[in-house]
Chains A and B, each alone.
Chain A
Amino acid sequence: MLARIGHIAYNTYREAVRDRVLYNLVFFALLLVGSTPLFGQISIGLERIVLVNLGLTSISIFGTVIAIFIGIGLVSKEIERKTLYTVLSRPVRRWEFLLGKYFGLAGTLAVNTFFMAIGFFAALLYLNHAFGRSDGQLLVAIYFIVLQFLIITAITLLFSSFSSPLLSALFAFALFFIGNFADDLRGLAGILKGTQHWLVMGLSYLVPNFGAMNVISQVAHEQAVSGALVLQNSIYALFYATAALSAAIMIFERRNLK
């Protein structure tokens, strides 16, 4: 079982890494990250802030785009191209397939983020000629970005387990967008009354809560991120991704592959 999940994960990773679309995205991200020192020179005295904001934001956005675009190919493309048939006609359980796909993509994203982070830190070194103590906080911000990827990947997998690639991408982007405003939704629910209140409140907990995971501005201003936040965010990502994957498995296990 674990061996099969591992094989599927590795194959997914291998496919993704060889896909040229991925190269393009990583290239653009690296370019953007690498060119941030130039942006820094425009706003005098704010170089580090601009570099951190722009660099981390591009890691986050490019990673999300990669996660969603490759993520939708995970299941729906395999169904469309019938590659899934040759996998599931072997002693592979459907949930093993889904988990393998998930870990494969998570691995791909982790490797990508690693390279983009190296580019980012290189740019930072070029700017400051040395790393300061507060630069450790940047790793925390990157860790939170990876946590977001883990959640987005699970969501993408959930959508592609029952929907077409295009719709899956749309749904996933919409959720990513709303996920950044989940706490504002709760604020909105506070104003509403009755059924609407509960609907909006329920929705705000159903969508991924990314608000607490975005500490880019905070670390750009060299403010410390508390250990408790790191812990709680990790727990949140773990549970949310598990929930999304469980739902994906429940849908996929009973799906007729037409």
Chain B
Amino acid sequence: MASSIPTTREAVIIGGNRIPFARAGKKYVRTSNQDMFTAALEGLVARFGLQGELLGEVVGGAVLKNSRDFNLIRESVLGSSLAPATPAYDLQQACGTGLEAAIAVTNKIKLGQIESAVAGGTDTISDAPIAVGDKLRRALLQANHARSTGDRIKALLPVLGHPKWLAPETPDTGEPRTGLSMGEHQAITTAKWGITREAQDEIALRSHQNLYRAWEEGFFDDLVTPFRGLSRDDNLRGDTSAEKLAKLKPVFGRGLTGDDGAPLPATMTAGNSTPLTDGASAVLFGSRDWAEERNLPVLAKFVDAETAGVDFVHGHEGLLMAPAAAVPRLLARHGLTLEDIDFFEIHEAFAATVLTTLAAWEDEDYCRDELGLPGAFGKVDRSRLNVNGSSLAAGHPFAATGGRIVATAAKLVHAKAAETGKPARALISVCAAGGLGVTALVESA
């Protein structure tokens, strides 16, 4: 398989920067996507002395956008101290946005189209768009298109008869095609795989403990810039315990019935589900030459990536299970197995998402029937999993998560390689709305 990868030059990860992630409605109230992404970008510029620098491209996005947020990333660049001639564009792939941005820019670097780039993302729940309903919107548009005052009034008359049309629509995490929230979708997958409450709480506990330890050890000192009075992710609970997590009431998965007609236990709580969060992240990439010419650090190579989609709409697969399909393809392309991976960065949308992914890879029937593998894909060594915490502890501002993980993974493999003198690899896996999965392979440079 390895021969099918065309030979290109390397794209390297130089470093990353993010602002602390804040729980929704708290520190970053009245802060826009653009404010946050500009802050993350400026921190990156400051860290690597890029003031006035003309970069090849800045790419990123936000999942929840106000209509004013068109050209969000370009506007952020214009508000940064990068050279205004630096081009930029927005992309969006739900929670995969940040990682997909990294894939996009590194591909251009590998092909020699650009020498340097920033990829990242931003999202805010506190400054989320509120829209008017379709019926009011149609009436307003019709009035707007009307040529006479009479026609305008005629277009708006139905609104008077339907005061309910005035109710605003707030964004939620519901899937458009199913009407189920992401948590409800995951709860169905969780039930199918029989994932226990205890196993989920354990993942959540380790996420908080690992992220807390990493902060205490200074791991994030060169990855995070304080913002608006926040210097650490405020969702982090260093003092949480299995007992505290066990006390929380289930919020997803109530009312499900097993094959035998007995109710299935609801296991997903606010403790083992990722909270809604505000934040932004940015990662600096370059060709090796570009980095070395500027004496910039080269932490890791962004080796390759693979995306996947699943049909969750008809329940054949779980909404967040696409990474389970993407990773085996990614590793096969490089002749690697799970044993060859030193760090697994599996985005914790929910603790259960991580656990169903791991369970799927260990399941012989699933791997054969759904993934087309000869047998079980393999077992993930838990001591290599999200070693410095992940989204359950840090929070998950949708498009900002990819950048957080890429920077963490690059630092981890760099340190490991320096310590052992051998190459180290990290596997990144991010699930996303719409049954999408975005995965990437990072290797020490």
Task: Specify whether A and B are partners.
Answer: no
